[in-house]
């Protein structure tokens, strides 16, 4: 099925969301995925402790509407699970569920919030990775439903259907992948392996309020008034790129899915629902990391040499604003290169070892880390 549905969804009001989710089900024939007795895991984006209004995490009312649609179809064994950035412990999960509004939602809708911090190794026949450790509720589910948030992403360009699945990898094993696949393109290719391994059956996108600018956590909320859905996560990400005017080659997961022959051109995807809304977003600020990404247009033989220069001088770097820093250590905890030290209650980066993955920027709870372009590229 190569269809993507797009529905105008102006607000997080339950009856509007119920109507939107029902439309997605009907337009895509999603009932065929479901049967009573199925064990379903919902995978929202719960990156960090942020309130729903901050647009960093999937809004709980979107999840609630999906739950109601499932229950209406006789599916009652429903667990919500994610491995956010940072530690994967019961304490960390409980705090994030509460702040993100998932605790209240789960009580009201009578679903389980995952507190099992175990994982299972799944071997794969994929491209770069031979096995992944996958959190138990995803590894054990009959069916996984991905519920992502439309956001920009400083490293991969887009945080959509494919990128959201990185939360299937437990806790601090995620920075290990950043260290192993330092380059954004390689890292995104690994994410395609992950997507092929966990295989979400359906993906919903919360694009009622999205995040533009330096996402996935340092950007700005923007009202986009939409929900989207598809069975094919690669097609869905192609549509998201079209929606926010991001060239496919700047969204590394989309680029990798084309290179692997998994994605279709936008013109080959059947868009259904409120199709005119594909042109409804006039402008959407892309991350500061993106405008200098010109190297992929050069001939392959010269890219290595240019990389050596651009890595040193032109690739945007994370800069800590010491006045804002509260010394919490979240950046150091998530830094795959272990190149951040906390001294006298402030964080300092040793740039000699920095691999420019922006995990620190992503995990800073007070937005004290900014992504700064080289002076040559600042407007
Ligand atoms: S300092 Fe930040 S950008 Fe550099 S390696 Fe560490 S987490 Fe990545
Ligand atoms: S830069 Fe941010 S994450 Fe790092 S110690 Fe300071 S406040 Fe915490």
**330 Cβ closer than 6 Å to some ligand 2 atom:** yes
Bridge partners (DSSP) listed for residue 5: 229, 272
Q: Whose CA is nearest to atom 2 of ligand 1?
A: 360
Q: What is the pTM of this model?
A: 0.92
Main-chain dihedrals φ then ψ at residue 15, nearest 5 degrees = -70, -30
Q: How far apart are CA 74 and CA 82, in angstroms?
A: 24
To the nearest whole number, what is the mean pLDDT of the chain?
A: 93
pLDDT higher at 214 or 1: 214
User: Which one of 327, 363, 371 would you pick to mutate in the ligand 2 pocket, going by the greatest count of ligand atoms within 8 A of its CB?
Assistant: 327
pLDDT for 41 equals 98
62, 14 in Cβ contact below 8 A? no
Provide the CA 3 distance to its chain's centre, in angstroms: 21
Q: What is the whole-number distance in angstroms between the Cα of residue 200 and the centre of ligand 2?
A: 33
Atom 2, ligand 2: residue with shortest CA distance? 364
Helix (H, G, I), strand (E, B) or coil at 303: helix
pLDDT of res. 167: 98
- Tokens at residue 367, please? 């937005």
Q: Average pLDDT, stretch 205-215?
A: 98
Per-residue pLDDT at 294 exceeds 50: no
The CA R_g of the chain, rounded to the nearest whole Å, is: 20
Closest ligand 1 atom to 175 CA: 7
Mean pLDDT of the 26-36 span: 97
- Whole-number Å distance between alpha carbons of 167 and 207: 19
pLDDT, mean of residues 77-90: 97
Burial (CB count within 10 angstroms: exposed 0-12, middle 13-18, buried 19+), residue 287 = buried
Pairing status of strand 346-349 against strand 143-153: unpaired
Tell me which of 340, 369, 370, 371 to substitute to probe ligand 2's pocket, judged by most ligand atoms within 8 Å of the beta carbon: 369
Q: Alpha helix (H) ranges present in 42-101?
A: 60-72, 90-99
For ligand 1, is residue 359 a contact (CB within 6 Å)? yes
What is the structure's pLDDT at 377? 45
pLDDT given for residue 295 in this prediction: 52
Report domain extents, the chain: 3-279, 295-377
- CA 186 to CA 357: how far, in whole Å? 12
With a 6 A CB cut-off, is 368 part of the ligand 2 pocket? yes
Q: Is 354 in the pocket of ligand 1 (CB under 6 A)?
A: yes
How far apart are the C-alpha atoms of 133 and 174, rounded to whole Å? Answer: 10
Fold of 295-377: Alpha-Beta Plaits (3.30.70)
Q: What are phi and psi of 143, to 5 degrees?
A: -150, 135
Closest of 1, 128, 18, 15 to residue 70, by C-alpha:
18
Token code pair at residue 236: 């869905």
Measure 153 CA to ligand 1 centroid, in angstroms: 15
Average pLDDT of the residues in 86-110: 98
Most confident residue range from 134-138, 293-297, 298-302? 134-138
Half-sphere exposure of 168 (CA within 13 A, CB side): 35
Q: Compute the half-sphere exposure of residue 73: CA atoms within 13 Å on the CB side of its CA.
A: 20
Q: How many Cβ atoms sit within 10 Å of the Cβ of residue 240?
A: 26
| 282-296 average pLDDT score | 74
- CA-CA distance, 131 to 173, in Å (whole number)? 13
* Tokens read off for 233: 């996560």
Q: Select from 1.20.1250, 3.40.50, 3.40.190, 3.40.630 the CATH code of 3-279.
A: 3.40.50
Closest CA to 211 of 202, 222, 203, 201: 222
Residue 378 clears pLDDT 70, i.e. is over it: no
Which pLDDT score, from 0 to 100, does residue 290 have?
64
Cα separations in angstroms, 333 against 174, 176, 319: 11, 12, 17
List the alpha helices (DSSP H) in 74-207: 90-99, 102-109, 136-139, 173-180, 184-198
Atom of ligand 2 nearest to the CA of 320: 1
Residue 152, strand partner residues: 158
What is the CA(123)–ligand 2 centre distance, in A? 36
- For residue 295 the two structure tokens come to 């190297």
Length of the chain: 379
Question: Pocket of ligand 1, candidates 153, 218, 337, 350: which has the most ligand atoms within 8 Å of its Cβ, to mutate?
Answer: 337
What is the H or E stretch that residue 230 is in?
strand 220-230
């Amino acid at each position: 099925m190569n269809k993507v549905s797009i529905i105008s969804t102006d607000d997080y009001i339950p009856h509007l969301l119920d109507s939107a989710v029902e439309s997605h089900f009907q337009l895509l024939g999603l009932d065929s995925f479901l049967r009573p007795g199925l064990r379903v895991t919902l995978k929202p984006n719960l990156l960090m402790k942020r309130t729903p209004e901050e647009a960093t995490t999937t809004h709980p009312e979107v999840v609630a509407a999906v739950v109601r649609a499932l229950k209406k179809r006789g599916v009652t064994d429903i667990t919500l699970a994610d491995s956010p950035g940072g530690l994967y412990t019961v304490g960390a999960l409980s705090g994030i569920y509460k702040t993100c509004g998932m605790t209240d939602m789960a009580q009201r809708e009578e679903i389980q919030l995952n507190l099992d911090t175990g994982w299972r190794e799944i071997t794969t026949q994929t491209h770069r990775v031979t096995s992944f450790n996958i959190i138990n509720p995803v590894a054990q589910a009959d069916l996984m439903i991905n519920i992502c948030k439309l956001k920009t992403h400083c490293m991969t360009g887009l945080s959509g259907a494919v990128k959201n699945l990185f939360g299937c990898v437990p806790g601090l094993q995620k920075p290990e992948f950043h260290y192993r696949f330092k380059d954004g393109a390689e890292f995104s290719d690994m994410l395609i392996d992950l997507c092929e391994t966990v295989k979400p059956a359906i993906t919903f996108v919360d694009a009622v309020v999205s995040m533009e600018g330096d996402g996935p956590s340092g950007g700005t909320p923007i009202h986009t008034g939409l929900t989207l859905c598809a069975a094919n996560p690669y097609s869905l990400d192609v549509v998201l790129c079209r929606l926010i005017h991001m060239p496919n080659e700047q969204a590394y997961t989309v680029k990798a899915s084309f290179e692997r022959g998994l994605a279709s051109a936008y013109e080959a995807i059947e868009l259904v629902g409120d199709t005119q809304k594909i042109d409804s977003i006039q402008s959407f600020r892309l991350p500061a990391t993106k405008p200098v990404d010109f190297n992929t247009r050069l001939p392959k033989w010269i890219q290595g040499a240019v990389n050596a220069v651009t890595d040193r001088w032109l690739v945007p770097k994370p800069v800590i604003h010491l006045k804002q820093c509260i010394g919490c250590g979240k950046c150091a905890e998530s830094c795959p290169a272990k190149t951040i030290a906390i001294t006298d209650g402030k964080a300092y980066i040793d740039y000699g070892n920095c691999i420019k993955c922006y995990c620190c920027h992503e995990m800073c709870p007070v937005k004290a880390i900014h992504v700064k372009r080289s002076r040559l590229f600042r407007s």
